[in-house]
Amino acid sequence: MSEVKLAAEVRTEFGKGAARRTRRANQVPGVLYGHGTESVHISLPGHELLLALRTPNVLIALDIDGKTQLAIPKAVQRDALKGHLVHVDLLLVKRGEKVNVEVFVNTEGELAPGNFLLENVLNTLLVEAEATHIPESVTVSVAGLEGGASVLAKDIALPSGVTLVTDGDAVVLQVLAAQAEEPAAEGTESTEA
């Protein structure tokens, strides 16, 4: 898991106009909350935050007025058309603390020979992990799976220190036999009498 250091400034202005001014200054408005503390409204450098959020479940070390606090992204809002960051919610965490996060499910390997399709029923799994050791993703081997086979959440090997929160009997992947149309029979022309 990667840790990214960002300098944050405390915001004293609130509302639409203040948020727009923050964004024009290439900053992203955000809120930092957690551990029963009062929420803190902050602004973060836009480009650096965008790069940091490319890593799933990134741990962000925020420097706020000379004090460093660890946080993970909880909610990220993007502009629907342009894709730039509009607002971010960050959750305070401590080293050694366990948090619930979603991790992506990646697949590797080739299905058994035949006309099969792999369906991703769940793209992410909810897991509990230490805040400083959150996996970016989990990998599932689909090598040799045939039609009708499925992979349950409890069958996926997780890194040490990570426990599954998603229901263990939930289907994550399943292999389907491809449905092919029967070719039209040739030479069967209707004759009119």
Q: What is the pLDDT of residues 49-85, one digit of tens each?
A: 888 888 888 888 888 888 888 898 888 888 888 888 8
CATH at 26: 2.40.240.10
- 89 DSSP β-pair partners: 31, 75
User: What are the pLDDT digits (tens) for 160-187?
Assistant: 888 999 998 999 999 888 776 666 656 5
Number of domains in the chain: 2
Residue 89 shares a structural domain with residue 103:
no
Contacts of 175 (CB under 8 A, 6+ apart): 111, 116, 117, 118, 119, 142, 145, 146, 147, 148, 149, 150
User: Looking at the structure, do residues 88 and 162 belong to the same domain, yes or no?
Assistant: no
Q: Are residues 73 and 148 in the same domain?
A: no
- Residue 2: pLDDT band (50, 70, 90) is low
| Residue showing tokens 């029967």 | 182
- To the question of pTM greater than 0.75 for the whole model, the response is no
**187 occurs within a structural domain:** no
Range of the domain at 155: 99-177
User: Strands across the sheet with 124-130, in order?
Assistant: 137-141, 98-108, 124-130, 163-164
> Does residue 90 have a pLDDT over 80?
yes
